[in-house]
Amino acid sequence: MSVSVLFRIEDLLVQFGGLRAIDAFSMEVEQGSIHALIGPNGAGKSTVLNCVSRFVTPRSGRMVFDGRDLLAARPHVVTRMGIARTFQNIELCREMSVLENVLVGAMSQTPRYLPFLPGFARGRIERDAVMQAEALLERTGLLPFRDAKAADLDFGRQKLLDLTRALAAKPRMLFLDEPAAGLRNAEITALDALLVDLVRGGGLTIVLVEHVMQLVMSVADHITVLNFGRRIADGGPAEIRRNPDVIEAYLGTDAHAAG
C-alpha cells in the first residue's frame, strides 16, 4: 500500500492580540486515513480548523492541500478544492428543511452559471441534486426527516445533519469538529461505523478534532496532540496512549472523561 501525504501544515502561527493561540504547529495527514487532532479544552484545536477553513488568517506558516496553497484561497474556494467541515456548535440553516440543508451543502457540486435560473428551468441538475441528497440522507439515517425544519430536529440529528451537509460537498478531506460531543453512546457507536465506512469504502480522508477519547482511540489511524497551541505528540494510537507528555497534559487531568 503506497502512502501519500494529502494535507500538510507547516509552522503555523496564530496570534490573537498578544496571545499565541497556535505556535509552530505542524502536521501531516495521509491520504485515506482517519487522523485525530486531540487536546484539552482551549488547546487550539478549533483554531487550527478555522485556519484551514480560512475563517482565521494565521500570522505565518503554510498549509498545503494536494499541492495547492490554502492560504491563497478564500473560504468558499477551500470547499471547492475538496475540503469540507462540520461545526462544533452545530451550524445549520435553521429556517430551511433538512433536504434544503443538504442541497446547500451540495452547491459546490452543481454548475454555477446562470445563478438566477429558477429551479424548474435547471431541470435535470436540480433533480439530480435532490436524488443525491436523498441518497446521502438515507445513508446517515435522516431520510425520514427530509421535510422537517432543521431547527426542529433533536440535538443528535442536528449533528448528523451537519455531517450530511458536509458530505454533500463530496469532499476529499473532511474535518469533523467534535462530532461526538453531546452524543449518547449508541449514537457514538453508529458514528464510529459511519466514519470507518466512509474512509475504507469511499476513499475519504478524515481529520477528527475531538476530545472524546472513546471515538478517537477506536477509529484513528494517527493522532496529533495539541496543548497550549503547541504539538506535544504525534503517532499511532498505541504510541500516544503510552506517551508520558500526553498522559500528563491531557489524560492525567481528564482521565474520567477519557473513559
Partner 1 sequence: MFGSPPLRHQIVLLVLVAIGFALPPFVPEYYLFLLNSLMVWAALALGLDLLMGWSGQFAFAHMAFFGVGCYGTVILTKQLDLPFLLAMPGGALIAAVVGFLVAIPSTRLRSIYLALATFAFAEGARFVFNSWTGLTGGPDGLRIPTMTIAGWKMTSDRQVFPVLAIILAMLLFATQQIVRSRFGREMSAVRDSEHVAMASGIDVRRVKVLAFTVSALYSGIAGGMYALINSFINAQQFGMDGAVLALSMVVVGGMGSIPGVLIGVVLIGLLPVVLQTKLRSMQLWQELIYGVMLTLSVTFMPRGIWGAVTGALRGRR
Partner 2 sequence: MLTLALFQGIASGVITGSVYALLAISIVIVFKSTEVVNFGGGEMLMSGTYLAMMALVAFDMPYVAAFGFVVVGMFVLGISFEAGILRVIAGRGRHGQLTLVALVVATVGLSYILKGVMRLFSYTEQARRLPSLFRGPPVEFGQVLLQRQDLVIVGIAVLVMLLLFAFFQFTFTGKALRAVSQNPRASSLVGIPVKRMRTAVWGGASILAGIAGVLIGAKFPVTPDFGGTVVLLSFAAAIIGGFNSLPGCVLGGVLLGVAQNLVGLYFSSAAIAVTPFVVIMAVLIIRPEGLLSGRSVLRKV
Q: Residues 123 to 152: which contact partner 2 by CB under 8 A?
A: 151
Please tell me what DSSP assigns to residue 144.
Answer: G
d(CA 208, CA 212): 10
Tell me if 33 contacts partner 2 by CB under 8 A: no
Total residues contacting partner 1 by CB under 8 A comes to 40
What residues are paired with 7 via a beta bridge? 29, 65
**Contact partner at residue 195 from partner 1, partner 2, none, CB < 5 to 8 Å by partner kind:** none
Cell of 11: 509552522
Q: Residues 142 to 181: which contact partner 1 by CB under 8 A?
A: 165-166, 168-169
Which is nearest to 146 in space by CA: 161, 159, 156? 161
d(CA 240, CA 244): 9
Q: Are 48 and 26 in contact (CB under 8 A)?
A: no
Q: Which of 42, 119, 203, 252 binds partner 1 (CB under 8 A)?
A: 119
Q: Which of 17, 18, 67, 115 binds partner 1 (CB under 8 A)?
A: 115
Task: Mark 235-254 with x for binding to partner 1 (rule: CB under 8 A) and - for no binding.
Answer: --------------------
**Contact partner at residue 108 from partner 1, partner 2, none, CB < 5 to 8 Å by partner kind:** partner 1
60-65 β-sheet, strand order: 19-30, 5-16, 60-65, 68-69
What residues are paired with 234 via a beta bridge? 224
Residue 227 three-state SS: strand
CB-based contacts of 69, cutoff 8 Å, min separation 6: 62, 63
Q: Residues 172 to 231: which contact partner 2 by CB under 8 A?
A: none
Tell me if 154 contacts partner 2 by CB under 8 A: no
Q: Residues 44 to 103: which contact partner 1 by CB under 8 A?
A: 53, 55, 74-77, 79-80, 84-85, 87, 91-96, 100-101, 103
| CA–CA–CA angle 159, 182, 91 (5° rounding) | 35
With respect to partner 1, which residue has the nearer C-beta, 106 or 215?
106
With respect to partner 1, which residue has the nearer C-beta, 45 or 231?
45
**Contact partner at residue 56 from partner 1, partner 2, none, CB < 5 to 8 Å by partner kind:** partner 2
Residues that bind partner 2 (CB under 8 A): 16, 46, 50, 53, 55-57, 87-89, 91, 93-95, 151
